[in-house]
Amino acid sequence: MIRVKEMLKELKVFERNKVPLEMKILGVAIYIQTSSVRKTAKILSEFYPVSKSAVHKWIKKFEEKLQIVTERKPRKLIAIDETIVKANGEKYYVYAAIDVERNELILMRVYPSRNYLTSKLFISEVLKYCENKPKFVIDKAPWLIKALESLGLSYERQSFRKA
């Protein structure tokens, strides 16, 4: 199962650890949603002091390791995962969808909650980048299962175990 944090560690996207990995993940997800380095830095600064140039470097490093695709394509297998990011005592849920065959990031979003409706909204957005109805790979999260079933999509569950 593809996990957001573990994938970024494995790809060695962010080599330095001055800023916590969770802040960098949150920053990349916010940037993908806003398409603005300035807005991303401003939002993140509420949680952690970060500059526009730092955010810009994170985005460039991220794009070097994992291509971000914004076009519709036929897709066979998409992995979806969500990870919890804590900032100033608040929890945020970063959802990511990755085309497994192409190793492309399709979509990444930040939500204040994790439930059936949030999952359904995210999956519906992912489908906008698909010419077909692909199969999804998920963990055992009941909110993801319910969302996929309500949309009539096929999926397989894979459990994640730390090595």
pLDDT at 35: 81
pLDDT at 148: 97
Please indicate, yes or no, whether residues 8 and 45 belong to a single structural domain of this protein. yes
For 19-88, the DSSP string reads: S-HHHHHHHHHHHHHH--HHHHHHHHHTTS---HHHHHHHHHHHHHHSEE--S-B--SEEEEEEEEEEET
Positions in the chain short of pLDDT 50 = 1, 162-163
Residue 153 has φ and ψ, to the nearest 5°, of: -105, 145
Show the domain range for 95. Answer: 72-157
For residue 34, the number of C-alpha atoms closer than 13 Å in the C-beta half-sphere is 18
pLDDT at 1: 45
Domain count, the chain: 2
116 falls within a domain: yes
Please indicate, yes or no, whether residues 85 and 142 belong to a single structural domain of this protein. yes
Q: Which of 50, 67, 84 is the last residue of a domain?
A: 67
Which of 31, 28, 32, 122 has its CA nearest to residue 82? 122
* Sequence-separated (6 or more) residues with CB below 8 Å from residue 143: 114, 115, 116, 118, 119
Please indicate, yes or no, whether residues 42 and 114 belong to a single structural domain of this protein. no
pLDDT at 45: 87
| CATH code at position 91 | 3.30.420.10
104 falls within a domain: yes
pLDDT at 163: 42
pLDDT at 15: 66
Q: Are 94 and 82 in contact (CB under 8 A)?
A: yes
Please indicate, yes or no, whether residues 92 and 151 belong to a single structural domain of this protein. yes
Q: Which residues of 53-67 are buried (b: 16+ CB within 10 A; e: fewer)?
A: ebbeebbebbeeebe
Please indicate, yes or no, whether residues 104 and 27 belong to a single structural domain of this protein. no
Angle (CA) 103-106-108 rounded to 5° is: 115
